[in-house]
């Protein structure tokens, strides 16, 4: 799942940027429902808006601290990409400079949509623009002219720029007469201009053209739809609108003009557009790089008359519309009369506009934006990898410190909490039968060490009791999720939660130092293991085998456990023989998380039973897996959970999970184990330390350009299990002592 934050003005604030931000968020969320989308809205002076739930944070335009707090909020929300809507006037400070404070502190990559690209910026605008370009992973413009200006005026790299048209609603191509009745203009020829009113809109030129149009077409009505722009309203009130009304009266066309002084929603707007025979954008400023109003009308298949501002000049070429000189009422009148007179030409122009407009509908545009977001994530990761290559020095044989004093608060009398909000356990989301088995294994390993703190060892009873409660004797399966009200959610958990519980119980029932927990585990494991043989999943077989191996170290005469082990061994050997071939020495058609457990299960069981055929299949599989996960970069690269790795497919680079680094740590291969431990300490694609010494926790994952700031149970247990396993191995009869690898333990 992707988390995307959209930063800009937002509805119900009345402005074009607010409409765009709202539309693009909704379009991306609809096209990619697996993504989590939310907005950070910018409030103007005195603005107080009743935002929808999509807005999670608000920035006060002129409050510099508000931008810093927004950066903190976004960093804490673990966003993957920030989609920034930029126009100089919507951010505080000279030329909107306050925005840079946010960008300097932001960790996630930024995709900036530029709604204005100035050809002749002043000194402040140039400085802001150049830093904005440098701090953006991708730049989105809506016209080729904008793309050219970015390169020519600001030296923006061409490879950083994405050309994505302004999105439009997908409306049917309908004759104008179908909508005219509802606006009281049935039987009329309707001209339309819509948008927030301000002096640069040039509407006065259409009003001055109207007498000539009415002289030939007395049934013409000109609709001016839109409220006065809030900034204009604050500074000059309704002066511009009143001036337009005066012009209409002076020209004796007031009965042919309808002013709708309001900001309409999308449904009503599309109906107004539908009623128009001609759409007119008489804007006065050539340097308008984009116009949402033009895009909406054009995409609905309207014949358009426009002044040649940059967006119009590009969109209306090849007879898709008509261009007239700036400030020229005579030209507007001439073209309007010509199009109203020539229905065939008008309809052909509408058809060309509508057909091109299908490439601009929001569903298509949203896909292009997601492509830009993904490119930004990958660029952020690549930049971080370059920095790693240039400056990261691996710390060989240095394991994370076992800081266990903060581990105890993650557990209450029921079990270990599944999730965390940053470093604090998120008790509101309860517990799961996925983390408690790992926690039980950790206490078993620590129990074999002389310096393990007793409060942590005492938690073994809690975790064993959790698994006892999770086991449902009616189904012989483990339930997975337990709410804070101590009620189980669902009747049966996943195969994954069952096999992990079986593994932990086998470990606890084996040579465990916890007598009480050992007896409870021994009772449960014999009841839980039969279900493992019914699972279709090879990873489930592997976890079951590991549990059986540990269990049989103490209960070697349990015939049922031996038979189950024989069956699971045979299955893993069979699928390996079927799937493995040169270049893909593996059990399945793909690699996912915890892949190392498959060869691990065959190696330990093959050695324990003295079967070379079993062991000799596990060993080459592990060799191959190490080659995949330890490529030429010289550091561990776990499978990215965003797609993992399928045979003959592209390998997912992110999101890398701590559980993978732990699962890769086979104890017989010390150099590779060093690299697995180093992954937590910064020996990874981004050079970021996921281990947090002050808390003893581990961040939940490695994303493109950043680490997940939450420190949940799974990641922290993966961190602690790796050095704990190394410590226990060093104390076994292997006879290998590697003091440099010894984990330090904080009581």
Q: Nearest CA to 633 among 378, 379, 374, 382?
A: 382
**Do 233 and 153 share a structural domain?**
no
Residues in contact with 713: Cβ distance below 8 Å, sequence separation at least 6, in sequence order = 410, 416, 417, 418, 419, 420, 435, 438, 439
Residue 411 lies in a domain: yes
- The stretch 144-161 carries a mean pLDDT of 94
**Do 348 and 431 share a structural domain?**
no
pLDDT value of position 327: 94
- The stretch 322-351 carries a mean pLDDT of 95
Residues in contact with 157: Cβ distance below 8 Å, sequence separation at least 6, in sequence order = none
Contact (CB, 8 A) for 663 and 725? no
- Say if strands 645-646 and 590-591 run parallel, antiparallel, or are unpaired: antiparallel
Contact (CB, 8 A) for 571 and 563? no
Mean per-residue pLDDT over the chain, rounded? 82
Q: Worst-scoring range by mean pLDDT, 136-145, 571-580, 705-714? A: 705-714
Tokens of 694: 């002050």
- Say if strands 55-60 and 36-43 run parallel, antiparallel, or are unpaired: parallel
Give the integer Cα–Cα distance in Å for 584 and 598: 14
pLDDT value of position 406: 56
Token pair 């130092």 is found at 513
**CA distances from residue 352 to 54, 279, 299, 355 in whole angstroms, order as listed:** 36, 15, 10, 5
Query: DSSP alpha helices (H): ranges in 217-306?
Result: 230-236, 239-250, 266-275, 292-299
Number of domains in the chain: 3
Backbone angles phi, psi at 2, to 5 degrees: -100, 145
**Do 147 and 183 share a structural domain?**
no
Residue 490 lies in a domain: yes
pLDDT value of position 746: 39
pLDDT value of position 514: 56
Q: What is the tens place of the pLDDT at every residue in 368-387?
A: 999 999 999 887 655 544 44
Q: What is the tens place of the pLDDT at every residue in 288-302?
A: 888 889 999 999 999
Residue 385 lies in a domain: no
pLDDT value of position 37: 96
pLDDT value of position 548: 86
Percent of the chain with pLDDT strictly greater than 70: 79
Q: Give the domain-ending residue among 334, 359, 384.
A: 359
Give the integer Cα–Cα distance in Å for 214 and 194: 20
Tokens of 687: 């050079």
Q: How confident is the model at residue 528 (pLDDT cuts 50, 70, 90)?
A: confident
**CA distances from residue 126 to 123, 147, 308 in whole angstroms, order as listed:** 5, 16, 25
Q: Worst-scoring range by mean pLDDT, 60-64, 74-78, 148-152, 395-399? A: 395-399
Q: If residue 394 lies in a helix (H) or strand (E), which one and from where to where?
A: none
Burial class (CB in 10 A: 0-12, 13-18, 19+), 258: middle
pLDDT value of position 149: 94
Angle in degrees, 0-180, between the axes of helices 612-629 and 559-579, rounded to the nearest 10: 50
**Do 561 and 420 share a structural domain?**
yes
Q: Rounded to the nearest 5 degrees, what angle is found at the Cα of 378, between the Cα atoms of 374 and 381? A: 145
Paired with 489 in beta bridges are 481
Contact (CB, 8 A) for 629 and 664? yes
**Do 503 and 610 share a structural domain?**
yes
Which of the given ranges, 40-54, 400-414, 615-629, has the highest pLDDT on average? Answer: 40-54
Q: How confident is the model at residue 152 (pLDDT cuts 50, 70, 90)?
A: very high
Q: What is the tens place of the pLDDT at every residue in 667-713?
A: 445 556 666 666 777 677 666 677 776 666 777 676 666 666 667 77
- Please check the confidence at residue 747 and state whether its pLDDT lies above 50: no
Residue 169 lies in a domain: no
Residues in contact with 190: Cβ distance below 8 Å, sequence separation at least 6, in sequence order = 176, 180, 220, 221, 223, 275, 276, 277, 278
Q: What is the tens place of the pLDDT at every residue in 181-205?
A: 989 999 999 999 998 898 989 999 9
Question: Greater confidence, 278 or 613?
Answer: 278
Q: What is the tens place of the pLDDT at every residue in 65-88?
A: 899 989 988 988 889 999 999 999
Q: Helix, strand, or coil here: 6? A: strand
Q: If residue 140 lies in a helix (H) or strand (E), which one and from where to where?
A: strand 138-141
**Do 157 and 201 share a structural domain?**
no
Query: DSSP alpha helices (H): ranges in 630-698?
Result: 658-663, 670-681
pLDDT value of position 21: 96
Would you state the torsion angle of the CA atoms of residues 67, 69, 75, 78, taken in this order, to the nearest 10 degrees?
Answer: -110
Backbone angles phi, psi at 482, to 5 degrees: -120, 125
Paired with 168 in beta bridges are 361
- Please check the confidence at residue 5 and state whether its pLDDT lies above 90: yes
Token pair 């960790």 is found at 107
Query: DSSP alpha helices (H): ranges in 392-493?
Result: 435-446, 454-457, 459-470
Q: What is the tens place of the pLDDT at every residue in 538-548?
A: 888 888 888 88
pLDDT value of position 387: 40
Tell me, what DSSP letter sits at residue 191? Answer: E
Q: Nearest CA to 551 among 534, 538, 537, 532?
A: 532
Q: Worst-scoring range by mean pLDDT, 106-120, 157-171, 436-450? A: 436-450
**Do 336 and 232 share a structural domain?**
yes
Token pair 């076994």 is found at 732
Contact (CB, 8 A) for 262 and 236? no
Preceding peptide of 12 cis, ω within 30°: yes
Token pair 């390993």 is found at 445
Residues in contact with 298: Cβ distance below 8 Å, sequence separation at least 6, in sequence order = 168, 279, 304, 315, 316, 320, 321, 353, 356, 357
Residue 170 lies in a domain: no
Q: Nearest CA to 630 among 681, 692, 688, 678?
A: 678
- Please check the confidence at residue 645 and state whether its pLDDT lies above 60: yes
- Please check the confidence at residue 358 and state whether its pLDDT lies above 60: yes
Q: How confident is the model at residue 269 (pLDDT cuts 50, 70, 90)?
A: confident
Tell me, what DSSP letter sits at residue 200? Answer: G
Question: Greater confidence, 697 or 121?
Answer: 121
Q: How confident is the model at residue 279 (pLDDT cuts 50, 70, 90)?
A: very high
- Say if strands 138-141 and 110-114 run parallel, antiparallel, or are unpaired: parallel
Q: How confident is the model at residue 741 (pLDDT cuts 50, 70, 90)?
A: very low
Q: Rounded to the nearest 5 degrees, what angle is found at the Cα of 571, between the Cα atoms of 567 and 576? A: 150
Q: Give the domain-ending residue among 359, 376, 402.
A: 359
Paired with 189 in beta bridges are 220
Query: Which domain range does residue 94 map to?
Result: 3-163
Q: Nearest CA to 483 among 409, 426, 540?
A: 426
Residue 373 lies in a domain: no
Give the integer Cα–Cα distance in Å for 710 and 718: 14
Q: Nearest CA to 500 among 464, 530, 539, 474?
A: 539
**Do 187 and 123 share a structural domain?**
no
**Do 354 and 433 share a structural domain?**
no
Give the integer Cα–Cα distance in Å for 471 and 492: 9
Residue 368 lies in a domain: no
Q: Give the domain-ending residue among 134, 163, 192.
A: 163
- Please check the confidence at residue 506 and state whether its pLDDT lies above 50: yes
Q: If residue 47 lies in a helix (H) or strand (E), which one and from where to where?
A: none
CA max distance for the chain: 107
Residue 366 lies in a domain: no
Tokens of 665: 């740590």
Contact (CB, 8 A) for 634 and 580? no
pLDDT value of position 451: 62
**Do 209 and 75 share a structural domain?**
no
Tokens of 569: 């061994």
Give the integer Cα–Cα distance in Å for 545 and 564: 8
**Do 276 and 156 share a structural domain?**
no
- Please check the confidence at residue 365 and state whether its pLDDT lies above 90: yes
- Please check the confidence at residue 347 and state whether its pLDDT lies above 50: yes
Residues in contact with 722: Cβ distance below 8 Å, sequence separation at least 6, in sequence order = 399, 400, 661, 662, 665, 673, 676, 677, 680
Residues in contact with 524: Cβ distance below 8 Å, sequence separation at least 6, in sequence order = 467, 468, 471, 505
pLDDT value of position 726: 65
Give the integer Cα–Cα distance in Å for 398 and 675: 10
Which CATH number goes with the domain that contains 741? 1.50.10.10
**Do 414 and 311 share a structural domain?**
no
Q: What is the tens place of the pLDDT at every residue in 155-178?
A: 999 999 999 999 999 888 888 988
Give the integer Cα–Cα distance in Å for 357 and 685: 42
Give the integer Cα–Cα distance in Å for 206 and 278: 12
Residues in contact with 736: Cβ distance below 8 Å, sequence separation at least 6, in sequence order = 670, 729, 730
Q: What is the tens place of the pLDDT at every residue in 43-61?
A: 987 667 899 999 999 999 9
Q: How are the residues of the chain apportioned to helix, strand and coil, as percentages rounded to the nearest 5? A: 50, 15, 35
Tokens of 174: 């309908």
């Amino acid at each position: 799942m992707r988390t995307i934050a959209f930063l800009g003005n937002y509805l119900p604030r009345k402005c074009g940027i607010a409409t765009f931000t709202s539309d693009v968020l909704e379009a991306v969320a609809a096209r990619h429902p697996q993504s989590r989308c939310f907005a950070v809205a910018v409030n103007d002076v005195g603005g107080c808006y009743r935002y929808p739930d999509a807005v999670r944070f608000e920035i006060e335009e002129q409050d510099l601290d508000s931008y810093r707090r927004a950066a903190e909020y976004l960093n804490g929300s673990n966003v993957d990409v920030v989609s920034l809507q930029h126009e100089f006037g919507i951010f505080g400070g000279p030329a909107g400079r306050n925005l840079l404070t946010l960008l300097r502190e932001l960790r996630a990559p930024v995709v900036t949509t530029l709604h204005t690209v100035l050809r002749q910026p002043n000194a402040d605008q140039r400085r802001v623009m150049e830093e904005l370009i440098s701090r953006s992973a991708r730049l989105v413009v809506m016209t080729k002219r904008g793309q050219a200006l970015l390169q020519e005026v600001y030296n923006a790299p061409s490879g950083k720029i994405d050309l994505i048209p302004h999105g439009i609603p997908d409306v049917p191509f309908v004759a104008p007469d179908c909508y005219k009745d509802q606006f009281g203009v049935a039987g009329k020829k309707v001209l339309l201009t819509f948008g927030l009113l301000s002096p640069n809109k040039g509407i006065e030129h259409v009003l001055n053209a109207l007498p000539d149009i009415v002289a030939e077409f007395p049934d013409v009505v000109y609709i001016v739809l839109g409220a006065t722009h809030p900034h204009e309203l604050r500074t000059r009130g309704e002066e511009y609108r009143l001036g337009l009304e005066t012009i209409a009266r002076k020209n004796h066309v007031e009965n042919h003009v309808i002013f709708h002084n309001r900001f309409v929603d999308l449904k009503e707007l599309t109906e107004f557009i539908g009623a128009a025979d001609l759409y007119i954008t008489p804007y006065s400023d050539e340097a308008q790089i984009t116009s949402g109003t033009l895009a909406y009308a054009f995409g609905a298949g309207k014949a358009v008359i426009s002044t040649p501002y940059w967006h119009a000049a590009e969109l209306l070429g090849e007879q898709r519309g008509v261009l007239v000189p700036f400030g020229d009422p005579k030209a507007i009148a001439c073209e309007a009369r010509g199009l109203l007179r020539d229905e065939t030409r008008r309809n052909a122009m509408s058809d060309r506009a509508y057909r091109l407009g299908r490439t601009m509908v929001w569903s298509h545009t949203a896909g292009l934006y997601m492509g830009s977001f993904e490119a930004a994530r990958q660029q952020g990761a690549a930049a971080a990898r370059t920095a790693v290559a240039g400056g990261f020095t691996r710390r060989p044989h240095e394991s994370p410190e076992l800081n266990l004093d903060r581990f105890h608060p993650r557990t209450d009398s029921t079990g270990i909490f599944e999730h965390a909000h940053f470093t604090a356990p998120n008790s509101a989301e309860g517990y799961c039968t996925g983390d408690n088995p790992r926690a039980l294994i950790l206490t078993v390993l620590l129990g074999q060490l002389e310096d393990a703190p007793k409060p942590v060892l005492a938690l073994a009873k809690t975790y064993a009791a959790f698994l006892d409660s999770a086991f449902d004797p009616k189904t012989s399966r483990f339930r997975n999720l337990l709410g804070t009200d101590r009620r189980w959610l669902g009747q049966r958990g996943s195969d994954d939660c069952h096999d992990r519980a079986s593994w932990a119980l086998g470990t606890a029932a084996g040579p465990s130092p916890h007598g009480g927990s050992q007896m409870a585990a021994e009772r449960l494991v014999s009841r839980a293991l039969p279900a493992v043989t019914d699972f279709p999943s090879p990873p489930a077989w592997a976890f079951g085998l590991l549990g059986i191996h540990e269990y049989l170290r103490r209960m070697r005469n349990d015939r049922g456990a031996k038979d189950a082990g024989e069956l699971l061994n045979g299955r893993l050997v069979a699928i390996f023989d079927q799937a493995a071939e040169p270049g893909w020495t593996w059990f399945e058609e793909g690699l996912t998380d915890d892949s190392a457990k498959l060869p691990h299960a065959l190696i330990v069981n093959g050695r324990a039973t003295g079967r070379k055929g079993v062991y000799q299949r596990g060993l080459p599989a592990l060799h191959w897996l190490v080659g995949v996960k330890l490529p030429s970069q010289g550091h561990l690269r776990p499978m990215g959970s965003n797609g993992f790795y399928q045979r003959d497919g592209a390998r997912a680079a992110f999101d890398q999970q701590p559980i993978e680094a732990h699962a890769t740590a086979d104890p017989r291969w010390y150099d590779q184990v060093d690299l697995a431990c180093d992954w937590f300490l910064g020996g990874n694609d981004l050079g970021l330390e996921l281990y947090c010494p002050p808390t003893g926790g581990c961040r939940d994952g490695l994303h493109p350009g950043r680490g997940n700031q939450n420190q949940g149970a799974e990641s922290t247990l993966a961190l602690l299990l790796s050095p704990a396993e190394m410590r226990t191995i060093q104390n076994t009869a292997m006879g290998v002592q590697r003091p440099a690898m010894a984990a330090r333990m904080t009581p």
